[in-house]
Amino acid sequence: MVRAVKPTRKRDGRAGPPEGYPKDPEKYADPANWKYPVHTPFHARAARRYFNKEGNRAKYSPEEQAFIDKRINEALEKFGVAVQVKGGEITEEAGTIQADVPINKDIDAMSLDELLGVLLGTNRLASAEGISPSLVSVDKATATLLSGTVKAYSVRIDTQEKRIEHDCVDFRTNRAKARLFCKHLGAFLLQIDHAQAVRLLRELLRERDHWTFE
Ligand SMILES: [Zn+2]
């Protein structure tokens, strides 16, 4: 692994923060040049997309690239955005996640609705809230295992193994590979103990890349 070294000033670097952007250099993955701002989930994701482009990476030494990659990944993790998709390949999340999940908070400051909003997006969160509690059954709820059903689908969340299993089409074909929730998982989390749901979602978002969704 290449040692991470803070980038030096570049010829095409900026002398200061762009208008409307943070004045704290620590909010940039490349602080010396005020580039790749990572102060919101939206910007962190954009930074990841731009910095994945070969032409942009080539402006930096391998050590500087490692520094910028680390900063971007730390920001993505802080905001609960998955860094990688299944298989270890770096995600192009733009097509999968709504560009503007309206959350700029740290995970520890998020409410249950906000936590679910990150994993569901606005439309699916509304759908999850629209599922009648009578269609949700929580069969098992221990400190490490939650299981039950939502409509005809099964839900199993194992916090020890860090594994979520669910069998609807939306989850299997779209959501699982980006480690996101479908409306059923949202509805399930809304029916379990509130404090446990918050704890689980915070843990999940913090360690998203270590969880298996399938
Ligand atoms: Zn589902």
Claim to verify: residue 50 and residue 123 sit in the same structural domain = no
Q: Give the Å distance between the CA of 40 and the centre of ligand 1.
A: 28
- What domain range includes position 65? 25-78
pTM: 0.62
pLDDT score, position 44 = 86
Whether residue 41 lies inside any domain: the answer is yes
Claim to verify: residue 132 and residue 190 sit in the same structural domain = yes
Report residues near ion ligand 1: CB below 5 Å.
168, 171, 182, 184
pLDDT score, position 177 = 77
Claim to verify: residue 110 and residue 62 sit in the same structural domain = no
pLDDT score, position 89 = 46
The structural domain count of the chain equals 2
Claim to verify: residue 129 and residue 189 sit in the same structural domain = yes
Per-residue pLDDT reduced to its tens digit, 163-198: 999 999 999 988 887 788 999 999 999 999 999 999
Claim to verify: residue 209 and residue 127 sit in the same structural domain = yes
Query: Residue ranges of the chain with pLDDT lower than 70?
Result: 82-105
Give the span between the Cα atoms of 133 and 136, in whole angstroms: 5
pLDDT score, position 59 = 94
Q: Give the Å distance between the CA of 172 and the centre of ligand 1.
A: 8
Claim to verify: residue 183 and residue 121 sit in the same structural domain = yes
Claim to verify: residue 105 and residue 209 sit in the same structural domain = yes
Give the span between the Cα atoms of 93 and 136, in whole angstroms: 30
pLDDT score, position 129 = 97
Q: Identify the CA nearest to 154 among candidates 136, 177, 181.
A: 136
